[in-house]
Amino acid sequence: MKKLQLSILGTLLAAGSQFAIAAPDWSKVPKRDIQVFHAGVTPIEWMMKKSDHSGRTGINKGESCVGCHEEKGGLNFDFKRLAGKELEPIGAPKTMHFPVSVQAAYDKDHLYLRLTFKAPADSAAGAPHEEAAPMHEVKAAIMLAGDKIPQGALVGCWASCHADVRSMPGADPKKKKYVTDANAGGGVFYDYIQWKSGEGGKGSTQVDGHVAAERVNKGGMALVKAEGENKGGIYTVTFTRKLSGGEGDLALAEGQVIPFGVAIHTDKTIFRFHHVSLGYTLGLGAAGDIKASKQ
């Protein structure tokens, strides 16, 4: 009898746990399309050099990259320049940009983020590809910016992209992304979560880390699960994240507006050979580029 009672109790607890983190009805959650693009060799130093990027003046005035470059759901970049040897010395993909549908919801304990996109398979022949098994066809990441990152609300994840990190021309091949004057305990860092598809879409894995003095792909305690599926070339990636966490996890709460960026690796590419978004904002019960639906 005692064993039976314990078994029933375990079943009820498991059911309760599943109910607590049940995903929202995504058909009722608004979608917001954003464009991700191949950025080439345009680190934060390039962005803030007036002779390279005239938009530096706007950033210094408090204007966001999105406010300048997003027009009618598209981007007004000079993509020929981005694909040219000046800004992409290795080789640009044929698909320089593509849309990602973003949805967000939250409840008293969790944040739910969903990305839907068609992954192009046309990376440049010279771009580095995953060497260690499994070979991830696709990787999808979201970076949430700490509130003390200088200009983090304006530039998205660009504050972690520097001219001296690996795969930049002439850079240290071992140096990872980092934030200048990083302080993981003081809000000067990025909370970083990622889903990796695995070889052939099998054996997927997830990453719960952060970017401070360097990128760390472990240690996070907030990510509950990252799930993805590929149906006819359309990927749907869903992240379930606790609002609270440990060191390296941003503490989230209703009423917050959190700057974030999206990065998608396709066609087995690694390092900077991804498509990235500009910096957007996520509102939890507050106004943002994307407003999370309360569950």
As a whole number of Å, the end-to-end CA separation of the chain is 39
The C-alpha atoms of residue 190 and residue 209 are separated, in whole angstroms, by: 9
Specify burial of residue 27 (Cβ count, 10 A radius: 0-12, 13-18, 19+). Answer: exposed
- The top-level CATH class assigned to 32-294 is mainly beta
The mean-pLDDT minimum among 19-28, 140-149, 234-243 falls in 19-28
Q: Is the pLDDT of residue 213 over 80?
A: yes
Q: Any long-range contacts for 173-181 (C-beta under 8 Å, 24+ apart)? A: 175/214, 176/214, 176/215, 177/211, 177/214, 177/215, 178/211, 178/212, 178/213, 178/214, 178/215, 179/149, 179/211, 179/212, 179/213, 180/150
Strand pairing report for 70-71 and 74-75: antiparallel
Tell me how far CA of residue 242 lies from CA of 108, 162, 182, 283, in angstroms.
Answer: 9, 30, 23, 16
> Is the separation of the CB atoms in 75 and 13 below 8 Å?
no
**Residue ranges per domain, the chain?**
32-294
Query: pLDDT tens, 53-73?
Result: 989 999 999 999 999 999 988
When pLDDT is cut at 50, 70 and 90, the band that residue 203 belongs to is confident
- Residue 25: CB atoms within 10 A of its CB come to 10
Tell me how far CA of residue 154 lies from CA of 64, 158, 260, in angstroms.
Answer: 4, 9, 10
Q: Is the pLDDT of residue 133 over 70?
A: no
> Is the separation of the CB atoms in 110 and 243 below 8 Å?
yes
- What's the mean pLDDT in 213-223? 96
Q: Is 76 helix (H, G, I), strand (E, B) or coil?
A: coil
When pLDDT is cut at 50, 70 and 90, the band that residue 3 belongs to is very low
User: DSSP of 89-150, one letter per residue?
Assistant: SS---S--EEEEEEEEEE-SSEEEEEEEEEPP----TTS-B--SSS--S-EEEEEEEPTTST
When pLDDT is cut at 50, 70 and 90, the band that residue 202 belongs to is confident
Q: Is 202 helix (H, G, I), strand (E, B) or coil?
A: coil
Contacts with 264 (C-beta within 8 Å, 6 or more apart), sequence order: 36, 100, 115, 117, 119, 138, 139, 140, 141, 274, 275, 276
Model pLDDT, residue 200: 64
Query: pLDDT tens, 97-131?
Result: 999 999 999 999 999 999 999 999 999 988 888 87
> Is the separation of the CB atoms in 212 and 246 below 8 Å?
no
Q: Is the pLDDT of residue 179 over 90?
A: yes
Q: Is the pLDDT of residue 4 over 60?
A: no
Percent of the chain with pLDDT over 90: 79
Model pLDDT, residue 19: 47
- DSSP character for 201? G
> pTM of the full predicted structure?
0.91
The C-alpha atoms of residue 242 and residue 247 are separated, in whole angstroms, by: 13
> Is the separation of the CB atoms in 235 and 116 below 8 Å?
yes
Average pLDDT, the chain: 90
